[in-house]
Amino acid sequence: MGLVLLSLLVGCMPSLAEDQAITEHTITVYAASSLTDAFSEIAMAFEAQNPETAVLLNFAGSSQLAAQLHEGMVGEVFASANPAQMAAVIDSGRVTPGSETVFVSNQLTIIVPVDNPAAINAFEDLANPNVDLILAGEGVPVRSYTAKIIATMPPHFQDQFYRNLVSEEDNVRRVAAKIALGEADAGIVYTTDITPDIASKVQQIQIPADQNFATAYTIAPLNDAPHPELAAHFIDFVNNAEGQSILAKFGFNPPSEN
């Protein structure tokens, strides 16, 4: 009798696969490469609070991500390192205008190898002769911000600065990694790209405050997201006290109007 009852109970229970299909969802977040460390921790914290949800993170330069979304890649959330790439995704029809918000800010800085072979001590030194300079490629937000700073400099500085350019990378983390390896004399990255794994391998040369400026990161749900309610929930988490605390831990600043 007991065996019959056990068989009936087992027959009424859903299989593990059926249960997972009902309770587990994966959301895909497209995030700028400079957010790698912070968003990796945010994803873990979000999953801990939402055990039925897994977060799949796709990190790349914001311009690359915008191109992927324009081509129809499926996902829930886009977090861009500047408003221009968010605007491109809005123009492609993947994000509803007005649904984007600024969630954090950052600043640019110069980094050099720890032994500083080109004796870079100030922003102006980037235009010295025979300085090997690495920047992110055209269209990557950090390069766009860099171009705005350089455009304020005298023409002779601009000419020599770009003449020193020896490599253009597809995202800002590649710039930081190459400088840490000593593959060039200097690079321009976000302050948050000086991560613990490279901090002992580089020196930071600050860009003067009157030339630097806060860079705005924007986040938005994709309007054709498979799980729109989870997209909204993830964005709320990024903007709430816990998410902002994690971002601050990795050197990001609160949203700024400047």
pLDDT at 107 over 70: yes
Residue 74 tokens, joined: 């499926």
Asked whether residue 52 falls in the same domain as residue 101, the answer is yes
What does the pLDDT read at residue 19?
40
Asked whether residue 44 falls in the same domain as residue 169, the answer is no
Among residues 145, 136, 137, the alpha carbon closest in space to that of 217 is found at 145
Asked whether residue 175 falls in the same domain as residue 227, the answer is no
Domain-located, residue 177: yes
Among residues 137, 183, 151, 182, the alpha carbon closest in space to that of 33 is found at 137
> What stretches of the chain show up as alpha helix (H) in DSSP?
2-12, 16-23, 36-49, 62-70, 83-91, 141-150, 155-163, 172-180, 228-239, 241-249
Asked whether residue 13 falls in the same domain as residue 101, the answer is yes
Query: Using 50, 70 and 90 to split pLDDT, how confident is the model at 213?
Result: confident
Asked whether residue 226 falls in the same domain as residue 196, the answer is no
Asked whether residue 100 falls in the same domain as residue 114, the answer is no
Among residues 192, 180, 83, 97, the alpha carbon closest in space to that of 141 is found at 83
What does the pLDDT read at residue 15?
38
What does the pLDDT read at residue 72?
95
Domain-located, residue 210: no
**Cα angle value 188/189/194 (rounded, 5°):** 125
pLDDT at 252 over 50: yes
The model carries a pTM of 0.81
Domain count within the chain: 2
Domain span at residue 154?
108-205
Asked whether residue 37 falls in the same domain as residue 90, the answer is yes
